[in-house]
Structures are given as C-alpha cells and as structure tokens.
Amino acid sequence: MSRPAVLFGDTVTQAFQRGFDQFGELLALTLGPTQGHILNWREVGGVESLLSSADIARRIVALPDSAANVGAMLMRNLAWRVHRRAGDGVATTAVLAQAILHAATRYVQAGGDLVAIRRGMERATRVASAKIAAQSQAISTDEETLSRVAMTITRAPHLSLILGEMFDVLGPLAHIAVEDYAAPHLDRAYYDGGRWVARLESPYLHTDTVGRRAVQDDCHVLIFAGRLQTFEAVAPLLKLMDRVERRKLLLVAHEVSGLALNALVINHQRDALGAIVVSLQRRADFRAIDMDDLALLAGATRFDADLGQTLEHVTLDDLGRARRAEATNSTLVVSGGGGSLVARRERIEALRERLLSLPDLDEEREELRLRLARLAGGVGVLQIGAYSKVERDQLHQQAERAIQALRLAAAEGVVPGGGVAYLQAIPAVQQLARELDGDEAYGATILAQALEAPFRRIVHNRGTVDPPMALAELRRQGTGGVYDAVAERIVPATELPDPAGVLRIALETAVSGAVLALSTGVLVLRRKPEYSSEP
C-alpha cells in the first residue's frame, strides 16, 4: 500500500518527469511505420502485442512508484485527450511533450522565468499551428487519396482501401458504424437512406427467411411513441389499411406486443397486409430523437402516448411513405422517405450549424453525424472480425481512429507527413523568437527545437539510419519531399500525407501538458489512489 506524502521542490520535478518520461517512452515507441511492439501480460488471455499508443494508454492504469505515477497519469490523460479528439497523433503528442518539458525544465532550474517561458511557448504554438494550416492542401475526395491517408494511420492496406472507398461513397460527414464479428472478417455495407437501431418484433414477419429480414417496398409509415398491446389499440389502423390501395405498412413504436402484435402478424400471414413492425432500441432520450428524424424523413405524424394520443382517429394523412423499408433483429433501414425535402434541408442545415459550434471533445458530435447521415440519405457499416476478443478490440479501435482522423483530413486538409510539416514550421517559430525578448524568446526557441522531435523519433524507431543524417538529407533536397522510413529514402510529400487537424491537436495538447507539468510544484500522494480504465 502506498504511503501518503506531500512532496515539494526538486523532488516533485524529478518524480514527475520520471513518470512522464516512462509513460511517454512507451508511447513514443509506436511512432512511425516501423514502430516497436509492446508486450502486455493479461491474467485472462496471456500476452498481447500492443501496436497502438491509444491501446497502451488504455491498458496501463498505474506505475508502482506513486510519485512518478502522477507524471505518468498526466501523460496518459494527454494521450486520451488526443485520441478522443483526433483518433491519431497520440505518440506524436508524447514525443513533443517530452522534448518541450526536458528543455524547459533545464532552463527553469537554471533560473529562467517560468511565466515568461510559458508565454513564449504559447505564442510560438499559435505561430506553428498557423504555419501547419498554411501548408494544408484540401484533400481530394477520390478513393485513392483517401485510402493513402487512411494507410498512414492504420498501416493496414485492406482496411485502408475499404475506408477510402467508404468516405468516397458517403462523403466527409459520413456516419460509419463499426460492427464486430466473431471470426476473421473485413467488409462494408451501405444503406441508401436512414439507419436506426431497432428490433423486428416477430420472426413471423420475415419476408426473407434465409437472411432473417423483413422487406416492404413502397409502404406507408406510422410512428407511435408508446406501447401497443391490445387489439383495440391497432384496430383503427387495420381498418384504415383495409381501405387503401397499397396494403403495406411500416409500424414503428416503443413496443408492440400481445394481441396487438398477434393481429398484425395474422394479417401479414394471410397476405391481407404486408407489415414490418419494429421497436426502437436506444435509450429513451435518443428514442424520441430517432422518431422525430424518421417522421421527418417519411412525412409521418408522430403519435405520442404520453400526450394521450391514440390511433383511434388515425387517417391516411397521418401516414408517411417510404420507397423501401428493411428490418432485422437489430436494425431498421428506410430509403426514399416521402417527407418534405424543404423541411429536411432545414433540419440538416440546423444540425450542421450545431455540429460546427461544438468543441472537438463534445460527445454530441457523433450523434449529430449520425442524424445528418440518415437525413442526407447515406449510412455505412464497417464489418470487422477476428477469432479472439483481444484482436477484435484492437481492430475495432484501429478502425475508429482511422475514421476520426479521416474526418479531420476532410475538414482541415492534409500536410506532408512523417514529421515534415513540423519541420517546415520551424523557421516561422525561429523568426518569432528573434522578435521576442528574454525568457519569452527562449520559450519560443524551446518549441522550435521540439518540432524536430517527431521526425527524429520516426527515424530512430526505424533503427538503421542516424536521425541527424536523415534530417540533413531531407533539408539538402529542399521542400516537397518527406522521409519514407520503410523505404529509407525521400519521396514526394503526396505519398505520405498526414491530416493537418491531427498535427494541430497533437501540438496544442503537448504544449498544454508540458506547461502543466512544468508549473507543478507540489504533489499530494494519497494512501489509496483511485484508478480509471479511461483517463
């Protein structure tokens, strides 16, 4: 059990930096295409190989040294922040943060003004971020370019090709769900229309028994926010469907069961009614949103049991339309909704404005992307699988990281990869340092020096070339090239692109983390610290 203690002064600095470096070094080993393997022992499942810096951050929840552990947990928190915001760039953040902290600590210990140094670093960060943005080139939406960007993130050729295709087909605002399979599998599926998490209420409604799905073309749509359990509850709807020419219906509710479901199934089996009956499966607050979007897409009235509404006086005007509805035990897909295009465009525009107004880490962003995708008419599912749960989890996380990074690439463009975009920002930061005075100038100089660190680490991880020699060769050949660590040669920048947004987020997070570490003067160690699986 750890002993409680309060640490001050140099003891804090040494312990903090020790843990910061230990955790950072693990993450740094994964930087670049020739990264090292981290072996992790698990009580269940034995040894696993970790290639992803985000997986490393998730697995390690504490260091044995309680004082060093505080610094390690700060690095872990930085890693998780970047992972959440950008998908990629975790190892880059660690390398930058280490380089900044080392140089700044030495200068502060020699008597430098911490406040001025921090101010200089923050000003230099803004200059470097602007220079990265200036290098950015809008990403081509063709499949080949998108696959190349995905390859720099995943290092998995087949996965990268599929992701490139999916973003090419669905566009930059695509909602791509990742589904796991219990055997080796890699494929994709596209849904022309909206996709909802829902359950088909009875297998007796299957129109495709082999595929275990129910399909109805050119059908009416009725939406009921509540439970339908008695025959009397659905009798008015059955009478209405008897009078219409197209006796096909998609009924969406919170729950349909008992005699109400029996009546619908019997009519379906007698060919008196082609019915799909589903219940939405997300939690209550999302279920209301799902119904609103579906009502808008189909042009249907949303009946609400909480408001005392029933189907007693349902009319044809209350029913929406869908060109095609397809349901399984887990999903509902509606294509060709008959709702107002003007109303849909207004909702889409409002959702886009809301999405742009949210900070990067806001959990609502993914929900908004889902709603935009289904209202705009395109949703994709990436299907991945492996025999072991550990391998499936790794593949799933790898895919999620690539999807997030590709979105950033679509939004902010791409820059030369392999750490070269940081190198090209150095002259602008050095110019700023010459314009500043005293310790503030040294803060900018620290950042200029740290911007070399990602490139040097990528070459170092390759292990066959001296980083200064590779850097000298790159600079000798001038701009327009990047260093390919696998081929050990300079190649055109277009062959190794990095998402500009990922580099920006990594840099800003690294500086903020290093500044926090640098300004920590006291550590309070608890007897029983609390740990979390997610920082």
Half-sphere exposure (CA, 13 Å, Cβ side) for 458? 24
Residue of 213, 285, 220 whose CA lies nearest to 246? 220
pLDDT score for 409: 81
For 267, the token pair is 């009519």
* Alpha-carbon gap, residue 513 to 75, rounded angstroms: 8
pLDDT score for 8: 46
CATH annotation of 156-193+351-414 = 3.30.260.10
Q: What radius of gyration, in Å, describes the C-alpha atoms of the chain?
A: 28
pLDDT score for 95: 93
pLDDT score for 426: 94
- Sort strands 214-228 and 302-304 into parallel, antiparallel or unpaired: parallel
Residues 225-237 have pLDDT tens digits of 999 999 999 999 9
Degrees (nearest 5) of the Cα angle 76, 77, 80? 90
* Alpha-carbon gap, residue 68 to 57, rounded angstroms: 16
CB contact at 8 A, 156 and 186? no
* SS3 letters across 423-455: HHHHHHHHHHHHHCCHHHHHHHHHHHHHCCHHH
- Sort strands 481-484 and 5-8 into parallel, antiparallel or unpaired: unpaired
- Residue ranges of the chain whose pLDDT lies below 50: 1, 6-8, 522-524, 531-533
* Alpha-carbon gap, residue 443 to 518, rounded angstroms: 12
Portions of the chain given CATH number 3.50.7.10: 194-339
* Alpha-carbon gap, residue 355 to 365, rounded angstroms: 6
pTM for the full predicted model: 0.68
With H, G, I as helix, E, B as strand and everything else as coil, classify residue 213. Answer: strand
Portions of the chain given CATH number 1.10.560.10: 5-137+416-525
pLDDT score for 52: 67
Portions of the chain given CATH number 3.30.260.10: 156-193+351-414
Classify domain 5-137+416-525 at the CATH topology level.
Answer: GROEL; domain 1 (1.10.560)
pLDDT score for 524: 47
The listed CATH number (3.50.7.10, 1.10.3720.10, 3.40.50.300, 3.90.550.10) that belongs to domain 194-339: 3.50.7.10
